[in-house]
Every structure is written in structure tokens, then in C-alpha cells.
A and B are shown apart, each in its own frame.
Chain A
Amino acid sequence: MLVYTFVFSFVMRLGIKDYAVFLISALLSWNFLANSVSYGANCIVANSNLVNKIYFPREIIPLSVVFANLFNFILEMTALVIVLIFLGYDFYIYLYWLPVLIIVEFFLVAGLTLLVSALNVFFRDLSHLINILIMIWFFGTPIIYPINMVPERFQAILRYNPMTTITSMFRNMFYNVKYPENLMWPDWKVIVITLAVVAIIFMLGYFIFKRLEPRFAEEI
């Protein structure tokens, strides 16, 4: 994070005030997703002794990964809030968005983790691919750069990325409160698209997981 801050404040010179806060406000929610998915990819295979010997609902394993990362995420946000108090940010103004955002992101992360954890049992090299995809996704989401730096025609594509909406909402909440001129509330169309994508990913992940679950024990 220090590296990002250094590079973007002094090297790239995007001209963003308080770049550390700008970055962290969005990066924390991204890390929740990235850590859950990349660790979750291996979680069923890593717990093969459990899967082979004891019956319990298998989705507990990937969900435990998601919940552990969610817990970390909340702790990190608490630390961020303490820092924001010292820096004089009015973080509480839009804080009512927090539970909604966490719930939406949770469903997205849970769906993806279920999906990759189940598929990784059948294709063991998937976890390498996933790390690359996450990296691409990271740069395709306005986290290290503000969305208005992106050319107009690409912004439309970014709208279909649910993490664009989620990270910018977190950024509104924590960073843009001090710079109201940057506040950009997504319009209802974007919100609908985001919710729909999240719902589809969650249902797809859960459905595929449940479909493949009976074969876990013998494939591991």
C-alpha cells in the first residue's frame, strides 16, 4: 500500500489529494474480494481430509473463508475510521450505506468463492488462472485511479463491473465526503445492473457448487 501511495503520489502525479486515503477507501473492499477468491480456490482441496472422512454441508468450507475475510475487512475499516477521525474526515455522513454495501459485496464474494472452490476440485490448475484474472479485474476497476480518468466510452463498460459501483460507493463514503465535488452517486440503472450481476453470480456459484458437491469426495 505504501508502494501504491508512493508511486501514485510522487511518480505518476495524478494530482489527487490525500492519495493514501483515496486508495485505501476503495482498496479494502477490493482486498476482501481478492483474498477470499484466491484463497477460496484451494480451500476444498486443502481440506481433503475433512471432505473425505466426515459429512457436513460442504459450502461451510468456502463460506468460512469468506467470513474470515469479511471479519478482517471490518477490522481494517475500523482502523481506517480511526485514521479518518484524526484527519478530520466526516466519514459518518454516508455511513448508513455501509451495511447495504457489505451485504451486496458479501453475496458477490460468496458466489465467486463457491464457484471457484468447486471448479478447482475438478481443474487443479484453475487457481493459477484465477490469480491472473483477479489481477486483470483489479486494473479494470477504478481503485488506484479515479473513474473520471477513464475515457467516456470505456466508462460504459466499467458500469457492468459490479466492483466499480461497490468500490466507488466505499470511496464516496470514506474519501469523497471531504471532496464533495468528486461525489458521484451511481444512477438507478447502474444500481440495477450491479444488483442483477451480483445476484446472477451468487446464484450461479451456489448452483454449480451444489451440483458438483456430491462428487467432491471421490475427485479429491
Chain B
Amino acid sequence: MTEENIKDLKERKENPITNSSGQLRDVNDYAVSVRNVTKRYRIHYEKNPSLKETIIHLRRTKFIEFLALDDVSFDVKRGETLGIIGPNGSGKSTMLKLISRILRPNKGEVLVNGTISALLELGAGFHPDLTGRENIFINAAILGMKRRDVEKKFSEIVAFSELEKFIDMPVKNYSSGMYMRLGFSVAINVNPDILLVDEVLAVGDQSFQAKCYKVIYDFIKQGKTIIIVSHDLGTIQDLCNRVIFLKNGKIEQIGGPVAVVSSYREFVENIEMERAHEQQKDERKKIFQTIIENNQKVISGEDIDRLAATNLGSNIINRFGSGDAEITDIRLLDSKGQQIDYCKYGDEISIEFDAVFKAEVEDPIFGIRIVDFKGNTVYGTNNRLNNITVGVLKQGDKIKVVFKNKIVLMGGVYYVSPSVGYKDFRTYCDWVNNMLTLNVIKHNKAEGIADLNTNMSIHRSN
């Protein structure tokens, strides 16, 4: 992505193309208008429909209906770049097929203003026995290009695909990457008013991909309308000035890329969390089962690690250990010592926990572990790592352990597990899983777990 492109996109995002009256129903204003579109698929029980079956049963074979799109309406203005995101089976590809007229809606209408080229599948019309050259002509003709135009653009197409050496070879001898590159080159040179892109930007190696993006940017700059379906949310956020979030065939949200992409991310994270939770429940049960079967009084560190890994997304408190010490309380405090429920990036906070010893323990290890909602360990430390030794602690000793931290985490929910362990590092007196919930307030400046507080700048180097 060059600096020019970034600047250009920024301008475009800030000044989306609108007409003065704000009317969308003007014929020349929109490129695609989707009005109350419903699409149902029939899923047949039998492999292929046959005349024999029909005559025997006096009707067509049984089928169930699947509602792919349910009363969807939106307009795409000229020059707009629209992204469509959503989970699998939400109707994204169906939407593109309806716009490109491969499929027809059951209800409603799709109005299209201008010529369309659809990058639904690259090289879909290639004949394996024909050479690259012949396939360029055939594919371009199928995509609606005139022979004369193809001849004019031929060298451009070949140069773009970087297949000069192989152009007179049958495409059956091409590698899959070469195949895709040729397909992309033909499709992109058809020069349509409206470009439909379905998950095909990840073609070829890094340099070719960069070229593909450049072409897309050029399209945007020329004021062409682009509709992109992708799971690559970064691309969507970069390219689009409006995004639709489809869910179960309905528009869940439509609006600016940042807002829609982040709410889609949240949706995906929730699903992931639920799924992981379900999956790990059984595993956790299994581990407990073995612990009970082996009649273990003291749970080893390995077991705890395994249990921690299965505790995804849950703040159910699980407790292990010999009981020689007991963790009685855990608190989150701000820099002034006030107890707080949440914090934000950059805050100086401290995590404190209290422990009471029920027996004599030599050189115990006090530690905390912070995990994110997926169970990834974000941070963990203990007194040994901080070069603190506490000596022998006797029955009845009360200990307060303080961890002073600066929050450099991105927003989200994290869990803190305190522990008191024996000096062997493998067995524990007490270990309380996810005892404290650490809420860090979200800000949308970046993504990930850690906030590296980037100071970004861009310089012209030519």
C-alpha cells in the first residue's frame, strides 16, 4: 500500500460520494440497488433429479428449503466500495451471485446500473487442453469482452499475470497459482463499472498480491463501484467505505467499516468463546476424573496448567492444593489504594491477595497468572522470579501479597489466578482459578492483546 493510496482512501472515507439532494432513487445515482430480496434454496434429498422418479412418484423429488437471504435491501452508490462480511452460510456469496445475475431472487429485485465483472472464481471457464493464450480469449469473451478489445489488451493481460514464458502452454500444465493469476488478470482487464470480488484477493505470492491490491485501488480511484466479500477483516476495513454484516440471511448491521467490523469481531469472539467453553467442559471433567481416581491430595503444576487451559472463557472458581495455605481474598486497587472494578490502558494498578497459613511451609512461592478470555496466558509472575525469598512460614501466619502493575493491555476481559505454591514449583498449597476478573476498558485504536503504544509516521522516501 503506497502512501498515495492511503491518502486517497482517507479522503474518500471522509468525503463519501453523495449527491446533493440525498435521494437514492435517482436512476443514475446508485450502481446496485437490492430491494427486499429473498432467496430460498431447495435442497434435494436425492442426488440428481430424474424423469423416472418423477413419473413413478407423479411429482418432483422431495426437498427442504433453505432461506439464504431474507428480505434484504440496500443500495450501493456509484464509486462506493462496499464490503460484505458475516459467518459462513450467512448469504454473502449468494448476494454476489444475485447481483451478478447468476441466481435470481425468489422475491424482490436487484437493479444494476452498469456492466459487471464478477471475480467469483478465478479461471472458472478455462479449458484445460487449450493454451493460456487461447483461454485468455475464451475467458474474456465469456466475461463479455469483444475480440478486438482482447487483442488490444492481450499483452497487458499477459504482463500482469507474469506468465509470458508459459502463455503457449496448455493450462492443464499450469500450477494452481499460475491458473489463478491468469484468471485474475483476465477478469481485472474486462474493465467493468462494477466489480464483484469474492475472497479472491489472496492470489499468488506477496508481490502478486500487492499488484492485485494496487489494481483494486486503481479501480477505487477511477470511481468504480466495488463489492467485496471477504473474511479478511483487515482488507475490508482498509478498502471499504461501507460494510454490511450479514447474519443468517439478514442484515445485522450496515455502516462505516470500523464500527461494523468491530461488532462483527465481537460476534465471532463470542461464538468462539461459547464453542471453546463447550469443548473444554468435557476435558475438564476428564482431568478431574483422573485426579479423583488417582486419589491425589496434592495437585501438580502440570495438572493445573492443563486445567487452566480447559477453563476457557469461564470465571467459575476452581480451587486446588493441599490446603497448607488458603487464599482468602483478592482485590484490584488503583494507585491511591482505592478498590476498583475496572481500569483502562496506562493505569497504575495493584493486585493484592491475602493468604493464611495452616501449616509450616518452607520458601513458599506466591504468584499470579493473568489469562485472556480464550485462556491464553497474558502474564504470570511470582516472588522467585522477582528474587524475593520469604523463608519459613508457620501456622497462623497471615500474608498480604501485592503486585504493582501498569496496564498495557488492550481492552477486554482478563482473569487473574493467585497461587501459593511449594518451593518445588510443581505442587501447590492453594491455587484459585480466575479469582479476580480484570476489566480493561476498550478503545478502538488498535487490535490484539498488548498495547505497544505505537507512534506511527509515514515518510516519503523518493
Contact A125 B50 (CB under 8 A): yes
**Interfacial residues of chain B within 18-63, with CB under 8 A of chain A in the complex:** 41-42, 48-52, 54
Contact of A124 among B49, B102, B104, B118 (CB under 8 A): B49
A218 on the interface (CB 8 Å rule)?
A: yes
Contact A55 B118 (CB under 8 A): yes
Binds B, one of A23-31, A45-53, A81-89, A170-178: A45-53
Per-residue interface assignment for chain B, residues 227 to 244, with 1 indicating a CB less than 8 Å from any chain A CB and 0 otherwise: 000000000000000000
Contact B118 A54 (CB under 8 A): yes
The smallest beta-carbon distance between A130 and chain B, in angstroms, is 11
B10 on the interface (CB 8 Å rule)?
A: no
B100 on the interface (CB 8 Å rule)?
A: yes
Contact B124 A55 (CB under 8 A): no
Chain A count of residues within 8 A CB distance of the other chain: 19
Contact of B144 among A49, A56, A125, A129 (CB under 8 A): A56
Most buried by A among B51, B124, B142: B51
Known: A125-B50, A217-B103. A53 touches B41 (CB 8 A): no
A6 on the interface (CB 8 Å rule)?
A: no
B contact patch SS: loop
Contact B49 A122 (CB under 8 A): yes
Per-residue interface assignment for chain A, residues 181 to 215, with 1 indicating a CB less than 8 Å from any chain B CB and 0 otherwise: 00000000000000000000000000000000011
Whole-angstrom distance between the alpha carbons of A54 and B138 in the complex? 13
A contact patch SS: helix
CB closest chain-A residue, reference B122: A53
The smallest beta-carbon distance between B44 and chain A, in angstroms, is 9
CB closest chain-B residue, reference A215: B104
Whole-angstrom distance between the alpha carbons of A217 and B94 in the complex? 11
| Chain A hits for B396, CB < 8 A | none
CB closest chain-B residue, reference A219: B49
Contact of A54 among B41, B50, B54, B142 (CB under 8 A): B142
The smallest beta-carbon distance between A119 and chain B, in angstroms, is 9
Q: List 16 A–B pairs whose Cβ atoms lie within 8 Å, in order of A's numbering.
A: A49-B125, A52-B102, A54-B124, A54-B125, A54-B142, A55-B102, A56-B143, A123-B50, A123-B51, A124-B50, A125-B52, A129-B51, A217-B102, A217-B103, A218-B41, A219-B49
Contact A124 B48 (CB under 8 A): yes
B120 on the interface (CB 8 Å rule)?
A: yes
B97 on the interface (CB 8 Å rule)?
A: yes
A63 on the interface (CB 8 Å rule)?
A: no
Contact B49 A53 (CB under 8 A): no
Whole-angstrom distance between the alpha carbons of A218 and B118 in the complex? 17
Whole-angstrom distance between the alpha carbons of A219 and B143 in the complex? 22
Chain B count of residues within 8 A CB distance of the other chain: 23
Contact of B124 among A49, A124, A215 (CB under 8 A): A49
Known: A217-B97, A218-B41, A218-B42. A53 touches B51 (CB 8 A): no
| Chain A hits for B142, CB < 8 A | 50, 54, 56
CB closest chain-B residue, reference A121: B49
**Interfacial residues of chain A within 42-78, with CB under 8 A of chain B in the complex:** 49-56
Contact of B102 among A54, A122, A125, A126 (CB under 8 A): A54
Contact of B121 among A53, A215, A217 (CB under 8 A): A53
Contact B101 A55 (CB under 8 A): yes
| Chain B hits for A219, CB < 8 A | 49
The smallest beta-carbon distance between B328 and chain A, in angstroms, is 65
Whole-angstrom distance between the alpha carbons of A201 and B104 in the complex? 27
Whole-angstrom distance between the alpha carbons of A219 and B44 in the complex? 9
**Interfacial residues of chain B within 439-455, with CB under 8 A of chain A in the complex:** none
Contact A54 B120 (CB under 8 A): yes
The smallest beta-carbon distance between B408 and chain A, in angstroms, is 48
Per-residue interface assignment for chain B, residues 92 to 125, with 1 indicating a CB less than 8 Å from any chain A CB and 0 otherwise: 0000010011111000000000001010110011
The smallest beta-carbon distance between B410 and chain A, in angstroms, is 40
Contact B143 A54 (CB under 8 A): yes
| Chain A hits for B50, CB < 8 A | 123-125
Known: A54-B125, A122-B49. A214 touches B120 (CB 8 A): no
Per-residue interface assignment for chain B, residues 311 to 349, with 1 indicating a CB less than 8 Å from any chain A CB and 0 otherwise: 000000000000000000000000000000000000000
Contact B51 A126 (CB under 8 A): yes
The smallest beta-carbon distance between A220 and chain B, in angstroms, is 10
Whole-angstrom distance between the alpha carbons of A61 and B340 in the complex? 71
| Chain B hits for A56, CB < 8 A | 142-144
The smallest beta-carbon distance between B198 and chain A, in angstroms, is 10
Whole-angstrom distance between the alpha carbons of A124 and B53 in the complex? 11
| Chain A hits for B124, CB < 8 A | 49-50, 52-54
| Chain B hits for A215, CB < 8 A | 104
